[in-house]
Amino acid sequence: MSDIVVTLPDGSELSLSAGSTVEDAAYEIGPGLGKDTVAGVVDGDLVDKETELEDGSELVIVTDGSDEYLDVLRHSAAHVFAQALLRLRPEAKLTIGPWTDEGFYYDVTNVDLDESDLREIEEEMADIVAEDYDIERKTMSREEAFDYYENNRFKQDILDTEAADEEEISFYEQGEFEDLCKGPHVESTGEIGAFKLLNISSAYWRGDESNETLTRVYGTAFADEKELEQFVERREEAAERDHRKLGRELDLFSIDEVTGPGLPLYHPNGKRVLDELADFAKGLNLDAGYDPVETPHLFRTELWKKSGHYENYVDDMFLLDVNDEEYGLKPMNCPGHATIFDQKSWSYRDLPVRYFEDGKVYRKEQRGELSGLSRVWSFTIDDGHLFVRPDQIEEEINLIIDNILTVFETFDLDADVALATRPEKSVGSDEIWEKAETQLKAVLDDGDIDYHLEEGDGAFYGPKIDFGFEDALGRSWDGPTVQLDFNMPERFDLTYTGEDNEDHRPVMIHRALYGSYERFLMVLIEHFNGKFPLWLAPEQVRVLPISDDNLDYAEEVAEELREEGLRVGVENRSWTIGRKIQDTHTDRVPYMIIIGDNEQEAGTVSVRDRKEREENDVDRDAFRAHLREERDDKRVEPDFLD
């Protein structure tokens, strides 16, 4: 048999006999590695160690010291859950049970489960782990597998889709349990050192709300108990910071089923935060030479067909018929900006042309996927589109990245950077895509920016640099983006007159500093735990008179601060001062001013911050000046009492 060659992580090549598996390759490298091999990553996909390799594959060997090992462990834990469930509820039907970033889930049907059942299932799982069953791969013919699942049409559906072209179907067996699965898995159930079932929710088969509703059980697993305990602590803290919970408590926003799912309503407090975010972004845009534009919420679908969105986004668009013409609520702002550019003749001297808009867009997500502000039907993108000459690409992207990093620095967020390449569903030639990806990579490399590749995760019209926000809990959220687009200028026949008096095609750059206001507000709520910096806080100072006799002086102090443009409230209810202080802490107001007879007679104030630090006999002018500086400098923490 002829040899095949695979590439290892260090770039070296390994020659193997045709038909060799991941495990064979590991033993070829060394017997110790072969013995320790759990799985492999082949061309970016995590696979079983018995997977056959093809010529030209890129191979990473996975052991129990690899980052991917936890995914393998959690996949096996999902099978342990399924085995335990069938022992206790043999009538249950299994569908799918993959690993996730935080653990695993298994979707089941034909059984009633609620949170009170999880403890019993966990106890059965513990028995299965203690029994330390070998987890072994076996195969059936496709016909045998189909017959095996004659009473489970969900598994048959998997065989008809994911395994439609496979003659041999893999199963994994542990004790009396076996499940249709490609793997990979750990060697035995005893390797699952610690696990926990987390919660139950509903899900649609294949994520399609027109399909059956299933019961989804979430869990997690780790190699040892200490890691599980740390995870549980982080999860409890994340629950305390949940933006939906804090959104209600701080009266920031609501989502009402009567008005429609995925359509957030911003209350005065939330709108104040959004306005500050918009003003900050507007300042960055104007300073960088962008011009403001505005486009309507809907267009004739002819525009979306011209841009390529109709072909690629029609299933996610809200469409309506107006006088026998089809219109669509805009899923993106870029076609409108391209149309504005096309209304005028441009010289090479005019470029770059930079537009920005806080544009409301609409995407018809499945209802089961909607979640607070993180996934909605209606959201606002702080959109920018640039039309540049090819020789201006690197300079403009560097300027955009500088502004994006300013956003990260201002909000005390860490950046997780990725280069996202051509997706399966895309427009444009291979040559155009290769050119665009090469240029973005050069910008990142030349700027010495750490990044990772996200193969196939680009926009349908071009590759992009994605900046994830890493919050105070170490979680990463989608954020700013820079997208290089050679396709839309072609589709819209955009041109400028070059130095040679000939028409030339501009390059379009899409960029957002936040990503979307909804997602970014969600990140900030959870990152700051609702304790917004002074400049963002819906209420920046609250004045607390100790008694009604101090109310007039409290209003005088508050008015002085309002003249500085500060958002100031006066607590005039007949509460005790202790209750007023507690309520202000609960509302996470950065500063409170306490006023009693002593302060009123001296013409001073007592200042207390939300860290419960306090200073008496504070000069009003000095405090007012500090508030102005802290706000204008956009400091992250109240620091008057530092």
pLDDT at res. 436: 85
End-to-end CA, the chain: 74
Enter the tokens of residue 637: 């923490």
Enter the tokens of residue 430: 């291979």
User: What amino acid occupies position 556?
Assistant: E
User: What amino acid occupies position 415?
Assistant: A
Q: How confident is the model at residue 520 (pLDDT cuts 50, 70, 90)?
A: very high
Residue 145 parent element (H or E)? helix 142-148
Q: Give the distance between the most distant pair of CA atoms in the chain.
A: 98
- 593 alpha-carbon distance from chain centroid: 38
**Cβ atoms < 10 Å from Cβ of 641:** 15
As a residue count, the chain comes to 642
Please give the Cα distance from 241 to 634 (Å, whole number).
22
For domain 541-632, the CATH superfamily is Anticodon-binding domain (3.40.50.800)
User: What amino acid occupies position 157?
Assistant: D
pLDDT at res. 260: 85
Please give the Cα distance from 296 to 242 (Å, whole number).
33
pLDDT at res. 301: 93
Of 513 and 436, the one with more pLDDT: 513
pLDDT at res. 424: 84
Q: Which residues are annotated as a binding site for Zn(2+)?
A: 334, 385, 510
pLDDT at res. 641: 87
Domain 274-527 -> CATH class: alpha beta
268-321 tens-digit pLDDT: 999 999 999 999 999 999 999 999 999 999 999 999 899 888 887 788 899 999
Answer whether the bond into residue 268 is a cis peptide, omega within 30°. Answer: no
Q: Any idea which of 8-22, 247-261, 471-485, 486-500 has the lowest mean pLDDT?
A: 471-485
607-616 tens-digit pLDDT: 999 999 999 9
Please give the Cα distance from 179 to 512 (Å, whole number).
45
Phi and psi angles of residue 423, each rounded to the nearest 5 degrees, phi first: -85, 170
Q: How confident is the model at residue 487 (pLDDT cuts 50, 70, 90)?
A: confident
Residue 253 contacts residue 265 (beta carbons within 8 Å): yes
What's the whole-number mean pLDDT along residues 133-139? 95
Residue 487 parent element (H or E)? none
Please give the Cα distance from 148 to 435 (Å, whole number).
50
What's domain 73-241's architecture?
Answer: 2-Layer Sandwich (3.30)
- 73 alpha-carbon distance from chain centroid: 24
76-101 tens-digit pLDDT: 999 999 999 999 999 999 999 999 98
Burial class of residue 232 in the structure, from the number of CB atoms within 10 Å of its CB (0-12 exposed, 13-18 middle, 19+ buried): middle
Residue 334 contacts residue 385 (beta carbons within 8 Å): yes
Query: Is the pLDDT confidence value at 208 over 70?
Result: yes
Question: In the chain, where are the structural domains located?
Answer: 3-62, 73-241, 274-527, 541-632
Report CA dihedral (227, 232, 238, 244) to the nearest 10 degrees.
150
**Cβ atoms < 10 Å from Cβ of 299:** 19
Report CA dihedral (116, 121, 122, 125) to the nearest 10 degrees.
180
Query: Is the pLDDT confidence value at 2 over 70?
Result: no
Handedness of CA 553, 555, 559, 561 (dihedral sign): positive
Phi and psi angles of residue 580, each rounded to the nearest 5 degrees, phi first: -65, -40
Nearest of 232, 249, 202, 264 to residue 525 by alpha carbon: 249
577: left (phi over 0), alpha (psi -120 to 50) or beta: alpha
341-398 tens-digit pLDDT: 999 999 999 999 999 999 999 998 877 678 889 889 999 999 999 999 999 998 999 9
What is the dotted CATH code of the domain comprising 3-62?
A: 3.10.20.30
Q: Which residues are annotated as a binding site?
A: 334, 385, 510
By three-state DSSP, how is residue 423 classified?
Answer: coil
Question: In this prediction, what percent of the chain has a pLDDT beyond 90?
Answer: 81
Please give the Cα distance from 66 to 511 (Å, whole number).
35
Please give the Cα distance from 478 to 182 (Å, whole number).
30
Report CA dihedral (111, 112, 114, 119) to the nearest 10 degrees.
-50
- pTM, two decimals, is 0.83
By three-state DSSP, how is residue 425 classified?
Answer: coil
Query: Is the pLDDT confidence value at 1 over 60?
Result: no
Enter the tokens of residue 16: 């193997």
Return all residues near 277 (Cβ < 8 A) that are at least 6 apart: 514, 517, 520, 521, 536
151-201 tens-digit pLDDT: 999 999 999 988 777 888 999 999 999 999 999 999 999 999 999 999 999
Nearest of 129, 150, 5 to residue 76 by alpha carbon: 129
3-7 vs 104-109, strand pairing mode: unpaired
Angle of the 393-410 helix axis to the 430-446 helix axis, nearest 10? 50
45-61 tens-digit pLDDT: 999 999 999 999 999 99
Please give the Cα distance from 14 to 25 (Å, whole number).
8
